[in-house]
A and B are shown apart, each in its own frame.
Chain A
């Protein structure tokens, strides 16, 4: 089957029930998406599927054939960071940063839908993403920096 990841087509010959996260990380060497729980509970593996934030660890590859899959590696264009990455770089919210990819992907999806979210909207959209280092308030501030509310 063919997976379209960051605009590139990849021929993958695996069972359709294999999780997308494992394929991204182990077959396609796109290790920016992280494993944190394997059950959709932490958001470390968040990718966009046709623009919708999805947990790659509970998404089967069979279900995403022909869809646009975007991972953290697909945000940077020609060496320039995505505006959300740029805002995160500027505000430097993280500690260990293991949650960073998932946080940024969820934030990108949120801001695509709602360029000027309220604090409550940010919390609702981001609540599936865990930062065990507890940098939540920094992350909210980084998202605000990336948003139209400045």
Chain B
């Protein structure tokens, strides 16, 4: 196995989040497609300019569906079951439910008749992955059109059957009804004996959000009961006959090279299989304890890399290793002249903000179960990119992609932390050797050490403001953490905004909201500082400079609900506000804190207003917002990875603190339902407001403007 390729690849923060087309067509050919859906009616989403097939006939000479253009498809079976095939996956954001709602709405079927087939590379069309808040706007949009197309087709089929005008027909609960004769026919009866494949029609009218009956409502998690009874099988729970348990030998520190490994004692355990190839050493055993003992029995010598930075030297390191201004994506176009802007300012303000590396800590660590049969590799694994993992496996094991099947059962969360397929590769290699299925479940320590982190970074801001609150200059340089939401939402006369990639010593990757948390923390902290310099209220200063009506709306909504101007502030208490937008979501957050004589801080309450277009499921949206706020709270107050010498020093849940029940402030969430706007995703933007809102509240209460995330690793202002 080519180790360089698999476990140690590091990637840029946003690498997997580019709207990229797959470089290869996936293996869903026409024959397989028709076999898959059997009889019935299928509607595939195909980009409009790629109408390569229409009706059930493909253009002569083409045997393959334009799979890299098929986003999703819906099938209505002869028994009336509606199957929805999508490459999106469920990691707790509840899209299994919200996408079902969207289809049920457009197709006019009960939600219980919908079966979602998700993240199985053999069954679903290619999908780049579940991230970037794309599922609702993109996949949701495609499925709406596909469902609407199917409904229209079914009406036409019924009209033909009865020889009536389609306009006299309507659809209700999966039944076409003739409004004049009251004749009824079920979807399943219409599709019986048919094999129809339709492309999406742009003609098919979709239901306006204002008229939604199923979408837009709180519908409980569709498979909710199975989670509450312990019956849902996460990958880490899976077991197949003859399965072995795998364990991997880990290096003592990053960059360590294996000099030698004596695996003879490990091999001596009954039933144990050992793989030793380059730096990869792994064992598989019939039970988990033997696997542990066998791993322990391996004597290995490593050559460790010296001189690696620690969390106390990291910020200097990132600046020194920066690639130079303008190297990163998302660097905004400079506008005007910063020097001029600073000259015309009444006040200037320069500040540096530090952002620590943090961990995703998905409660279910990485897990994979691999099985080889007849030259085909099947891997069940919790990943946000099943097709990405399929590609990795096909490269590593030199298999054509149709010989690799990756299946992603609903997984114990990701937050952007499960884009890679390390456990899948490890299980597959062990299974190949053992000729038996192998399951690899990472320990918490492995998850902390060998997954990847939310990038750390340093942000320098240099600005100028006039006494009337006009921002004259804004220089904003972000070293390493990334470019998401780096552009300001304020009217600024002169600006220069750039993301400067650096040489990260820790493996880093996507994280909920990417760098938006870092950029919004720096920007919104700085904006409050400017407001104070010109003695303006933090809210008024933002309203004066905001350049977007949707942003103004969330600001005003949050402030009103919080009582920004109306509720009296007790002594020692402070109020803070922050706002921002990212990936189609708009957020404003108000926080109240109290700082006591020992400089201990308590977050008393947080009010957040959020708007992401038309709401699909109010309760699940609120859970997403709440979850984002809580995760944001951890990174704001105490989460940080400690490291030195290529080792993670707090790789356990007792050493790395995440938010608990007792950390919860009073939380008030207000969602604004913009039925006139398309729905955007909600998994990310809701995280960005909380850190700066709390920071600004601490400043208001104590006069101290904190500038490092996390702000209070020990609970006190230092």
Contacts and interface: CB of A to CB of B under 8 A. Distances in A.
A25 B237 contact: yes
A30 to B, nearest CB: 8
A42 B626 CA distance: 20
B92 A97 contact: yes
Interface string A66-99: 0000011101100001000100110011111111
B660 A127 contact: yes
Contacts of B489: none
A126 B654 contact: no
A35 B232 CA distance: 14
B631 to A, nearest CB: 5
Contacts of A139: 661
A136 B230 contact: no
Interface stretch (B173-181, B219-227, B458-466): B219-227
Given A42-B363, A95-B94, A100 B227 contact: yes
Contacts of A101: 230
Interface string B441-475: 10110000000000000000000000000000000
Contacts of B629: 134
A130 B658 contact: yes
Interface in B54-107: 91-94
A72 B225 contact: no
A133 B413 contact: yes
A147 interface: no
Contact of B623 (A29, A33, A89, A135): A135
Given A29-B239, A123-B662, A134-B630, A93 B623 contact: yes
B598 interface: no
A99 B626 contact: no
B363 A130 contact: yes
Nearest to B666: A137
Interface in B199-235: 220-221, 224-225, 227-234
A18 interface: yes
Interface residues of A, number: 56
B369 interface: no
Max chain A Cβ within 10 angstroms of own Cβ: one of B229, B363, B652: B363
Contact of A96 (B91, B225, B287, B619): B91
Given A32-B230, A38-B444, A126-B661, A132 B362 contact: yes
A71 B230 contact: yes
B628 interface: yes
A98 to B, nearest CB: 3
A134 B229 contact: no
B39 interface: no
A22 B410 CA distance: 22
Contacts of A132: 361-363, 413, 415, 631, 658
A140 interface: yes
A72 B654 contact: no
A18 to B, nearest CB: 7
Contacts of A50: none
> Secondary structure of the B side of the interface?
loop
A76 B227 CA distance: 13
A16 B415 CA distance: 38
A2 B229 CA distance: 25
> Secondary structure of the A side of the interface?
loop
Contacts of A98: 92, 234, 362-364, 412-413
A44 interface: yes
Contacts of B411: 96
A101 B363 CA distance: 12
B664 A137 contact: yes
A37 B653 contact: yes
Interface in A110-146: 122-124, 126-127, 129-140
B624 interface: yes
B261 interface: no
A99 B630 contact: no
B627 interface: yes
Nearest to B634: A134
B289 interface: yes
Interface in B540-562: none
B288 interface: yes
A131 B364 CA distance: 11
A130 B443 CA distance: 16
A135 B626 contact: yes
A27 B425 CA distance: 26
Max chain B Cβ within 10 angstroms of own Cβ: one of A32, A100, A126, A134: A134
Interface in B241-281: 245
B362 A31 contact: no
B652 A81 contact: no
B502 interface: no
A92 B224 contact: yes
A75 B660 contact: no
Interface in A23-54: 25-26, 29-39, 41-42, 44
B200 to A, nearest CB: 31
A129 B233 CA distance: 21
B289 A18 contact: yes
Given A39-B652, A134-B626, A97 B362 contact: no
A34 B229 contact: no
B412 A96 contact: yes
A93 B362 CA distance: 17
B659 A134 contact: yes
Given A37-B653, A75-B229, A134 B628 contact: yes
A139 to B, nearest CB: 8
Contacts of A29: 239
B230 A33 contact: yes
Interface string B642-663: 0000000000111000111110
Contacts of B93: 95
Contact of A39 (B220, B228, B232, B654): B654
A135 to B, nearest CB: 6
Nearest to A42: B653
Interface string B290-315: 00000000000000000000000000
B160 to A, nearest CB: 42
A104 interface: yes
10 closest residue pairs by CB, A with B: A32-B230, A134-B630, A96-B92, A98-B412, A95-B92, A97-B227, A31-B237, A72-B230, A96-B413, A41-B653
20 contacts: A18-B289, A22-B288, A25-B237, A26-B239, A42-B653, A95-B624, A96-B411, A96-B413, A98-B412, A99-B363, A101-B230, A104-B228, A123-B662, A127-B661, A132-B413, A132-B415, A134-B627, A134-B633, A135-B626, A137-B667
Interface of A: 14, 18, 22, 25-26, 29-39, 41-42, 44, 71-73, 75-76, 81, 85, 88-89, 92-101, 104, 122-124, 126-127, 129-140
Interface of B: 91-94, 220-221, 224-225, 227-234, 236-237, 239, 245, 287-289, 361-365, 410-413, 415, 441, 443-444, 619, 623-624, 626-631, 633, 652-654, 658-662, 664, 667
Given A31-B237, A95-B413, A136-B661, 8 more contacts: A31-B239, A37-B652, A38-B444, A41-B654, A94-B221, A129-B661, A135-B623, A137-B626
